[in-house]
Chain A
């Protein structure tokens, strides 16, 4: 069974600073995808970044980058130059290639960006 662990319930970062949100995963499937989503208070899950298990390079999308360490089974999200609008819940998720091909989510990290 797949499992995602996010050990940081809450994080604070000052505006314009970088922050790393931790995510570790567990799966026996050799082919999987790792995702990060942002959920503001409105509730919508906003896709941020994706990393495939066979990708050789770390994924980047604008200010977001994913620090993928396969041997450690970690997929940390790095947000550079934090903005006040980055304050939200952040979820790490994994999709396997099983029959359901479902997303398994972690418990989330609440990020608060301060002035």
Chain B
């Protein structure tokens, strides 16, 4: 069975550009969440989607947006890239939402470098 897949794995962008990151959850999972992990820190929550609706948003500027498609895959978009957006972006897939015991399975991440 395929796990969580993210694309691309690596990306280099210039300041001011736009980027789209993609995530396909585990088959049957309806919840996708996005995390940003800056070097040397733990992942920080950006968005959560369940059944194609946004269920939560972390403390990130409006330059960050996301959506979930009918097949439960998801895109994370970042506009007007800043150097500080350089990070590992992780997508997590869960079968449920709103329950503390819900396990989250992560993809391998997209490493974004802004120059």
Please report A residues at the B interface, Cβ cutoff 8 Å. 4, 29, 31-33, 35, 37, 42-47, 50, 52-53, 91, 93, 95-108
Contacts and interface: CB of A to CB of B under 8 A. Distances in A.
11 contacts: A31-B100, A45-B43, A47-B104, A91-B43, A95-B100, A99-B98, A101-B97, A101-B99, A102-B56, A103-B35, A105-B44
Interface of B: 33, 35, 41-45, 48, 55-58, 88, 90, 92, 97-109, 111
Contacts of B43: 45, 91, 103, 105
Given A45-B90, A45-B106, A99-B55, A33 B45 contact: no
Contact of B101 (A45, A46, A50, A99): A50
A22 to B, nearest CB: 15
Given A33-B101, A45-B106, A100-B45, 4 more contacts: A95-B101, A95-B104, A100-B57, A103-B43
Contact of B109 (A31, A44, A97): A44
A46 B3 CA distance: 11
Contact of B55 (A46, A47, A101): A101
B77 to A, nearest CB: 19
Contact of B104 (A29, A31, A35): A35
Contact of A100 (B44, B48, B103, B108): B48
Contact of B42 (A53, A101, A105): A105
A103 B100 CA distance: 9
